[in-house]
């Protein structure tokens, strides 16, 4: 039960959580998703239809076989589709009336294909073109630690930082330092004209217009100098995939403006974007990280795998 109240006419109205129904999950090679998605779907009272990547087909088959033997689990509550044919994806995404919601997990190509072709409602788990903005009031030692962690701790995931924005007032001091640090960690650095001018001899490659909207998923980072906090916010809202973006600053007013105006599912003040994760948020496993605004946003798990309905208790009331 979520909440309950009594109307003046005596009707008692109760709002309760209910399962979504049948959850379809389309994902790529990682077989841990097979277990995570199944556990979350079943815990929330749903059935689950899995379509994993062909690279892990045999592993997924074994995992589903074991999970389907769980005591008390209804027959058919966990189903695995054939991952050796693309036809299984097409059939799943058009199974309107049989499947209640789809969750695609993987690269941008997979997600876009599902979103564009599906007739079943989709919870879109988006790509991560994540930003870190180093404000003019930043603690530079803190900035070093966060930027390096956000970019290099695991560069192949969607919550890794891909872009670094630096306020012009400290760019001359900070850019040579952070670029050299990133390059020492094996990061290929690309930059706008001002970044390259301020980092002579550091072999910063020119950033193209395409770089600002690109999700690299490897040891690459593009750097842009901005003249104000508002310019940083505008740049992020233009190029971000609405995943995770961070500000590094000691100024609370600037931080709150950034937190309020950056239109992303997770916005950080003085912390790495790498924390956008169901486990790190305390949810246990996650079904994915939603970058859309309906029906959920950010890392989602049990609660978001339910909907609500109303139960109304009366004693003969009729409407006049």
Residue 255 buriedness (CB in 10 A; 0-12 / 13-18 / 19+): buried
Residues whose CB is less than 8 angstroms from the CB of residue 71 and which lie 6 or more positions away in sequence, other chains included: none
Rounded mean pLDDT, 70-88: 92
Using only C-alpha atoms, the chain has a radius of gyration, in whole angstroms, of 23
The answer to whether 31 and 63 have CB atoms below 8 angstroms apart is yes
Count other Cβ atoms within 10 Å, centred on residue 18.
Answer: 12
Query: Which two structure tokens, joined as six digits, stand for 191?
Result: 């930059």
pLDDT at site 280: 95
Find the mean pLDDT for residues 98-103: 97
- Whether residue 182 is predicted with pLDDT greater than 90 in this model: the reply is yes
Cα–Cα distance for residue pair 142/226, rounded to 1 Å: 20
Q: 223 - beta bridge partners?
A: 164, 191
Domain with CATH 3.40.309.10 in the chain: 130-275
Q: Which residue has the higher pLDDT, 229 or 279?
A: 229
Architecture of domain 130-275: 3-Layer(aba) Sandwich (3.40)
Of all helices (H) and strands (E), which one includes residue 291? none
- Per CATH, the homologous superfamily of domain 3-123+287-312 is Aldehyde Dehydrogenase; Chain A, domain 1 (3.40.605.10)
Confidence of residue 187 (pLDDT cuts 50, 70, 90): very high
Q: pLDDT band at 84, cuts 50/70/90?
A: confident
Put the strands of the sheet holding 306-313 in their side by side order: 3-6, 12-19, 306-313
Residue 143, classed as helix, strand or coil, is: helix
The mean pLDDT of the chain is 95
Residue 35 has pLDDT above 90, yes or no: yes
> Are 310 and 14 within 8 A, CB to CB?
yes
pLDDT tens by residue, 123-180: 988 789 999 999 999 999 999 999 999 999 999 999 999 999 999 999 999 999 999 9
Predicted model pTM: 0.91
Q: Which residue has the tokens 């389907």?
A: 68
Helix orientation angle between 57-67 and 32-43, rounded to the nearest 10 degrees: 30
92 Rama class: left (phi>0) / alpha (psi -120 to 50) / beta: alpha
Q: Tell me the average pLDDT across 87-101.
A: 95
What pLDDT score does 108 carry?
A: 80
Is residue 122 a contact partner of residue 132, using CB atoms and an 8 Å limit? no
Other C-beta atoms closer than 10 Å to the C-beta of 121 total 13
Largest CA distance in the chain: 83
On whether the CB atoms of residues 282 and 299 are closer than 8 A, the answer is no
| Beta strands at 130-134 and 244-248: parallel, antiparallel or unpaired | parallel
Which residues make up the CATH 3.40.605.10 domain(s) of the chain? 3-123+287-312
pLDDT at 109: 86
Please report how many Cα atoms fall inside a 13 Å half-sphere around the Cα of residue 142, on the Cβ side: 16
- Distances in Å between the Cα of 17 and the Cα atoms of 82, 120, 251, 310 are 32, 21, 41, 9
Tokens standing for residue 253: 């007013």
Which pLDDT score, from 0 to 100, does residue 213 have? 96
Average pLDDT over residues 59-82: 94
Omega of the bond prior to 257 within 30 degrees of 0, cis?
A: no
């Amino acid at each position: 039960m979520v909440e309950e109240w009594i109307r003046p006419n005596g009707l008692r109205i109760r709002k309760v959580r209910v399962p979504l129904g049948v959850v379809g999950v389309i994902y790529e090679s990682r077989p841990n998703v097979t277990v995570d998605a199944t556990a979350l779907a079943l815990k929330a009272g749903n059935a689950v239809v899995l379509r994993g990547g062909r690279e892990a087909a045999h592993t997924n088959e074994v995992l589903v076989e074991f999970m389907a033997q769980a005591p008390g689990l209804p027959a058919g509550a966990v189903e695995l589709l054939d991952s050796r044919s693309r036809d299984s994806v097409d059939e799943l995404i058009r199974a309107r009336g049989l499947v209640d919601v789809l969750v695609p997990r993987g690269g941008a190509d997979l997600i876009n294909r599902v979103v564009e072709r599906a007739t079943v409602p989709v919870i879109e788990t988006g790509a991560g073109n994540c930003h870190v903005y180093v404000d003019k009031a930043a603690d530079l030692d803190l900035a070093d630690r966060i930027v390096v962690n956000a970019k290099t701790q695991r560069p192949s995931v969607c919550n890794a930082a891909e872009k670094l924005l630096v306020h012009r007032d400290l760019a001359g001091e900070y850019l040579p330092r952070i670029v050299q640090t990133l390059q020492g960690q094996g990061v290929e650095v690309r930059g706008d004209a001002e970044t390259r001018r301020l980092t002579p001899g550091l072999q910063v490659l020119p950033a193209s217009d395409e770089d600002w909207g690109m999700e690299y998923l490897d040891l690459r980072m593009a750097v842009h100098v901005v003249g104000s906090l508002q310019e940083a916010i505008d740049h992020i809202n233009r190029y971000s995939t609405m995943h995770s973006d961070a500000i590094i600053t000691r100024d609370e007013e600037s931080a709150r403006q950034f937190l309020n105006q950056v239109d992303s599912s997770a916005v950080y003040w003085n912390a790495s974007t790498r924390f956008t994760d169901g486990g790190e948020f305390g949810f246990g496993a996650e079904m994915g990280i939603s970058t859309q605004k309906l029906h959920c946003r950010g890392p989602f798990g049990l609660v978001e795998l339910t909907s609500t309905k109303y139960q109304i208790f009366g004693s003969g009331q009729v409407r006049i």
